[in-house]
Structure 1
Amino acid sequence: MSARKPHVAVLLGGWSSEREVSLASGKACADALERRGYEVTRIDVGRDVMAVLAALKPDVCFNALHGAFGEDGRIQAVLDIMGIPYTHSGVLASAVAMDKTMAIRLFRQAGIGTPEGYETTLEELGRAGPRIDAPFVVKPAAEGSSVGVFILPDGDTRPIFSRNALDLAKRVRVERFIAGRELTCGVLDREPLAVTEIVPKDGFYDYRAKYTEGFAYHVVPAEIPPAIEALVQDWSQRAYDALGCRGVARCDFRYDPSLAEEGLSLLEANTQPGMTPLSLVPEQAAYRGIDFDELVDRLVKEARCDH
């Protein structure tokens, strides 16, 4: 008689701005685990998640949450307190990666190139104006999936402040815009997977382009000089290690070919990369010969071993 497969609770949904993509990630991962023979329970996470998990008593949680409470260290802390193994990074790595300013400090200490920039609030930005020349980018200091990102080519910040019910105390990063190409590299168990170039059909790689079929296409592997490919992979692994990640993570870059290696900058690391049919990490894993079901299975097995 074969041994019983672990009972996996797939955490999905939640209440962040990335709820919809989390539902898609969670469904894809739960389906994959069921195909691999696991007992699977899907939990659309609410504020009663501790009581739900205490009653369910799963062997392991697959964290398919994105955004606030899913990748900022808070759900990880809940699971640590409850003694339940879980996939992806732990409390500290998740919290630091979500805080873009703190993460960039770590990246710079690890010798990784990052964009010129600083942290402020929307109120201060509106009152004093930007401290760097246009073009620049304004983005939330703790968000993912390009939610709330503005590219301001001429320095005019009015498009930001035209939104209704704006939280002027919100922390934002103001960074110099880097012209050029969008690159990303997944890291699985400290090993870089591949470098992908993301080519949006229109504008930049925003939330719509990330999660709407036909709004961007991916080139795997990216058609870039070998030295740049090697540097992207090296910096991705260094960022993964500097944060203390585990499982799978993804690092996003901008690359200005006119500046050679000086034109490469790491924008951020994502400890909960998307796991939808359009997502980058599953695509890179497939390029390396790891199909989606195997990837998900591997993350669950690693979570149990780490615990």
Structure 2
Amino acid sequence: MTQSPTTHPDVVAPGLSGVAGSEHPVDAEAPRVVVLAGGLSHERDVSLRSGRRVAEALRAAGVDVSVHDVDARLLRDLDESRPDVVWPLLHGAGGEDGSLRDVLELAGVPYVGTGPRASRLAWDKPIAKERLLTAGLSTPDWLTLPQELFRDLGAHGVLSIVAERFGLPVVVKPTRGGSALGVTRVTSEDALARAMVDCFAYGGSALIERAVDGIELAVSVIDGPDGPVALPAVEISVDGAYDFDARYNPGRVEYFAPARLTKAQAEQVAEVAVAAHRALDLRHLSRTDLILQADGTAQVLEVNVAPGMTETSLLPQAAVAAGHDLGALYRRVVELVAGSRQRV
């Protein structure tokens, strides 16, 4: 008789209360799933909320699911319980940089999501942007600036030449990371130094990207039996910056799902998201964030291998807009993984 992994107490308490129990009958034919949520990155709270929502949806679809933090007991518990599928819902370092996926591969555990090599590529924004350009996709011009070089050359001199030669406005963001942590849109040279300091609080290297204007969109992609398929684009309308607070606290942002696009525009951004998914060798699911400019150019900002799955997150909104029941959709994803047991 198998033993379910022990649900870590601090997963159940802060944001996953009620997940350990079940109000729905379990379908014996469904894969047994362990959702990994929490971790120790800056995005721990978002991960907990994502884990709770996915676990609730899977349970409603008849799936036997438990939730586990990433701690010293995880590998032992996975070895004892041997779940059919693990769904890592960790955001930020560890969850998206390929390291946890490396360990899951070594443990021989099938999991939802992109493999470790492609995760590392997508996690590093400048490298991912190079790959997107090679694939013929558009992405805003950028430069990278490590903190050491910024310090050695002197902040004033570096920022003056950036503002003069690169132009304003720009967006400053960590080269690695998510949830808009450390991200600032800068419209004046005076604000550039503060933006760099905020960025370096979340990583050792900054990406300075030329700001582009247009319709802000998120296009999620789900793998199916016949390949990746784009969900309807979600349009993001926000008064001010689409920062961490705006993303995860309801009320500051107005979402349109599906986005207010023409049929041709909707097809265009769907094609771009699928092309980005393929260019970066992503697997099972992804989310491409982009700006559709007035001239029709779709500028890819970044591609996420572990999209947020909270109550305000964009992939679930897109799935509902497409008419999917979230539990049934997530169950199909884990059944695809359980049936293929492929490795990347």
User: How high is the TM-score relative to the length of structure 1?
Assistant: 0.91
Task: Quote the Cα distance in structure 2 between the aligned partners of 1:56 and 1:72.
Answer: 26
2:117 equivalent in structure 1: 92
Contact persistence 1:251–1:270 (CA under 8 A)? yes
How far apart are residue 167 of structure 1 and its match? 5.7
Structure 1, unmatched stretches of 5+, are none
Relative to 1, partners in 2 of residues 1:155 and 1:51: Cα closer, same or farther, differing over 3 Å?
farther
Distance 1:175 1:114, change over 3 A: same
Would you say how many aligned residue pairs link Structure 1 and Structure 2?
301
2:266 aligned counterpart, secondary structure: helix
Q: Where in structure 2 are the equivalents of 1:37-56 lying within 5 Å? A: 37-46=62-71, 48-56=73-81
Q: Which amino acid letter does the alignment assign opposite residue 70 of structure 1?
A: G
1:266 corresponds to 2:311: no
Unaligned runs of 5+ in 2: 1-26
Q: Where has structure 1 moved over 4 Å in runs of 4 or more?
A: 161-164, 166-169
Pairwise CA RMSD: 2.0
**1:256 matched to which residue of 2?**
293
1:122–1:181 CA distance, 2 compared to 1 (3 A)? farther
Question: Does the residue aligned with 2:233 lie in a helix, a strand or coil?
Answer: strand
- 1:63 is displaced (CA, Å) by 1.4
Asked if residue 108 in structure 1 is aligned to residue 133 in structure 2, the reply is yes
Among 166, 169, 172, the alignment partner of 1:135 is: 169
User: Could you tell me how far apart the structure 2 residues matched to 1:4 and 1:196 are?
Assistant: 34
Larger radius of gyration: 2
Contact 2:172 2:196 in 1 (8 A): no
Looking at structure 2, the residues matched to 218 and 128 of structure 1 have their Cα atoms a distance apart, in angstroms, of 38
Aligned to 1:171: 205
- Structure 2 CA distance for partners of 1:301 and 1:167, relative to 1, 3 Å: same
Which deviates the most, 11-20 or 48-57? 48-57
8 A contact 2:86–2:110 mirrored in 1: yes
Identity of aligned residues (%): 35
8 A Cα contact 2:47 2:89, kept in partner: yes
In the alignment, the residues of structure 1 paired with residue 214 and residue 203 of structure 2 have an alpha-carbon distance, to the nearest angstrom, of 32
**What corresponds to 1:77 in structure 2?**
102
CA contact (8 A) 1:122 1:168 kept: no
**How far did 1:5 drift?**
3.5
Partner of 1:151: 185
Q: Write the letter of the residue equivalent to 2:250.
A: E
> In the alignment, what sits opposite 2:237?
199
Shift in Å, 1:48: 4.9
Aligned to 1:24: 49
Letter paired with 2:275: R
Contact 1:13–1:65 under 8 Å retained in 2: yes
* 1:291 corresponds to 2:325: yes
Separation (CA, whole Å) in 2 of partners of 1:102 and 1:10: 29
Give the SS at the match of 1:261: coil
Q: Does 1:9 align with 2:34?
A: yes
SS for the counterpart of 2:40 is coil
Question: Aligned to 1:194, what secondary structure does the other structure show?
Answer: coil
Q: Which moved more, 1:177-186 or 1:107-116?
A: 177-186
1:249-286 alpha-carbon deviations (Å, 9 max, x no partner): 110012332xx123x31001011111111111111111
User: Normalising by the residue count of structure 2, what TM-score does the alignment of the two structures yield?
Assistant: 0.82
Q: Do the aligned residues in 1 keep the contact of 2:37 with 2:89 (CA within 8 Å)? A: yes
Q: Is 1:160 the counterpart of 2:160 in the alignment?
A: no
How much has 1:149 moved relative to structure 2? 0.3
Following TM superposition, by how much is the alpha carbon of 1:299 offset from its aligned partner in structure 2, in angstroms? 1.6
- Alpha-carbon distance, 1:224 to partner: 2.6
- After superposition, the C-alpha distances for 1:219-255 in whole angstroms (9 at most, x for unaligned) are 1222234433222111111100011111111100123
* Distance in structure 2 (CA, Å) of the matches to 1:172 and 1:155: 16
